[in-house]
Amino acid sequence: MSSKIVMDDGVDNKIERTEEKSLLTRMFGKMEENLETDKKQQQQQTKSSRKNSTEMAIAAAQGKLIAVIGDEDTCVGFLLGGIGEINKKREPNFLVVDKNTSVQEIEEVYKKFMKREDIDIILINQNIAEQIRHVIDTDNDNPLPAVLEIPSKDHPYDPTKDSVLRRAKGLYSAEDMR
């Protein structure tokens, strides 16, 4: 069965084409198939993104923590921000360092934080990190937990003392930065 399609090209010339109706039917059928395929792909992507979101939520629910070793002001600030936790063994994820805290005690807590599976980041005041620099530099081969040195209220940040920055500078030469 054929049908006649008449198109006007805008100059009063009539262009006539004869096409088979089945060709149009096949074209529209193909378009519908493509739309269905696109719809299925979108549904699969939505399911995949929901799955990824669920996996991320589960990872977050497993509770990777931030630990803090710092002076009273630093620890209180982070605790008010909501990072304070106590694990099943009743061990906190923070240490308040004052003038009576021994270097040995700071080292022990730092080593415990490094071994804990539930801690991914250790924040330590830079002036306190200087007291246990020998331990930080020898124990920091693994990327996790990441050890970040932060300033305190009484001691400004000094990038020349930061072990992470010193290692990063060692990876790149001045020519790499150009």
Residues of the chain with pLDDT > 70, as a percent, come to 64
**Alpha-carbon distance 51 to 112, whole Å?**
34
- How is the chain split into domains, by residue range? 2-60, 65-172
Asked if residue 18 has pLDDT above 50, the reply is no
- The CATH architecture annotation of domain 65-172 reads 3-Layer(aba) Sandwich (3.40)
**Alpha-carbon distance 43 to 47, whole Å?**
6
174 band by pLDDT with thresholds 50, 70 and 90: low
Residue 142: per-residue pLDDT: 73
- 4, 16 Cβ separation under 8 angstroms: yes
15 band by pLDDT with thresholds 50, 70 and 90: very low
Q: What is the pTM of this model?
A: 0.59
Helix (H) or strand (E) holding 96: strand 94-96
Q: What tokens does 83 get?
A: 């990072």
119 three-state secondary structure = strand
